[in-house]
Amino acid sequence: MVGIKDVARQAGVSVGTVSNVINHPQMVAEDTRDRVLAVIERLGYVRSETARQLRAGRSRIIALLVLDMANPFFVDVASGAERAARETGLGVMLCNSAQNPRDEADYLSLFSEQRVRGVLVTPADTTGANLENFRRHGIPFVFVDRVVPSAEGCSVSVDDITGGALAVRHLLECGHRRVTYISGPMHLAQCQDRRTGALRALEEAGLPVDRLTHVEAERLDVAAGRDAGARLLGMSPRPTAVFCANDLLALGVLQTLYGAGVRIPEDMALVGYDDIEFASAAAVPLTSVRQPAFRMGRTAAELLIAETGETTAATHHHERIVLQPELVVRESSLARPRG
């Protein structure tokens, strides 16, 4: 690898002169500057941004650690964060914990080694131990799609209790009285909150909470949705409506039911959550609770940038921002139950 000393030796100048040509060209005589630039071009020298950042004590990279990059929801979150970062001259290091606390710990260790400017994180470790250890390095972080459990950081989340209530309230208004909630692992706060919202909708309607049956899937993906769909087929009586904790689960349920000859929505209504792009493109367009994923990522990045900015860090106050979901009604829920 060509270094700055190689450039200086070839150009017959000091390392300081090469540095000035790169960082303060107006300070170097034109003929010297041209000679150094010619050597840089010939040798293919690229300055070490990492070394420069270490000397300056500031990184131009923020890290984003998400739960599942296979989920289009987190792709939209990442797009929002990347847009905010680029507008301020920063880059984003995107990593995927795959819902694995051990992978999360490894990435957080990498972030501390690289001394990133800050971290946007959707935690996989529900104990909080990984982030408690990371906190010791003094690198700011912002929770994304989670509420930070203390006053020591910012968070941007969605009101998932309201989202769950929107979904089940819609199904009740369509006449359904036997509803099944299909969640991912219930240690995830989102799955808990969406169920709380579903139960709230039942209570508002004066219905007993046992009208909501619950199927807990091992993951929040299409394959787990297909497995959950098979469990629905074995229920007696079957529910007339299903609310899934995310769209990937709902799409998997739709595949299984469709393959078994169950008509959506005539035999069973279906509602998802997130409103990913594929929801509207499904064989039966999917009713879904829309989360403002792009806005969530952008807002979280803006909070982190403010907390780490040279002119804004001193006046920064931690914020907990809660965005509101909305119900997007499509064909998958637009039928009243039979009988």
Q: What is the pLDDT of residues 113-128, one digit of tens each?
A: 888 999 999 988 888 8
Categorize the per-residue pLDDT at 44 as very low, low, confident or very high, splitting at 50, 70 and 90: confident
State the pLDDT at residue 97: 93
Q: Are residues 248 and 222 in contact, defined by beta-carbon separation less than 8 angstroms?
A: yes
pLDDT for 252 beyond 90: yes
SS3 335: coil
pLDDT for 55 beyond 60: no
Q: Are residues 88 and 110 in contact, defined by beta-carbon separation less than 8 angstroms?
A: no
Percent of the chain with pLDDT over 90: 68
Question: What are the pLDDT digits (tens) for 157-169?
Answer: 999 999 999 999 9
Nearest of 54, 119, 115 to residue 85 by alpha carbon:
119
Categorize the per-residue pLDDT at 41 as very low, low, confident or very high, splitting at 50, 70 and 90: confident
Nearest of 188, 45, 30 to residue 122 by alpha carbon:
188
pLDDT for 212 beyond 80: yes
pLDDT for 311 beyond 80: no
Tell me the HSE value of 277 on the side-chain side, using a 13 A CA sphere: 6
pTM of the model: 0.80
Range in 17-26, 95-104, 252-261, 281-290 with the lowest mean pLDDT? 17-26
Please indicate whether residue 243 or residue 336 has the higher confidence score (pLDDT): 243
Region 219-247: mean pLDDT is 95
Categorize the per-residue pLDDT at 58 as very low, low, confident or very high, splitting at 50, 70 and 90: low
State the pLDDT at residue 48: 58
Q: Give 40-74 as a DSSP string.
A: HHHHT----HHHHHHHHT--SEEEEEES-TTSHHH
Categorize the per-residue pLDDT at 52 as very low, low, confident or very high, splitting at 50, 70 and 90: low
Categorize the per-residue pLDDT at 266 as very low, low, confident or very high, splitting at 50, 70 and 90: very high
CA distance 189 to 125: 11
Dihedrals φ, ψ of 148, to 5°? -65, 135
Categorize the per-residue pLDDT at 51 as very low, low, confident or very high, splitting at 50, 70 and 90: low
Q: Give 104-121 as a DSSP string.
A: HHHHHHHHHHHT-SEEEE
Region 246-271: mean pLDDT is 96
The mean pLDDT of the chain is: 90
State the pLDDT at residue 56: 47
Percent of the chain with pLDDT over 70: 94
State the pLDDT at residue 120: 96
Range in 103-117, 148-162, 198-212, 305-319 with the lowest mean pLDDT? 305-319
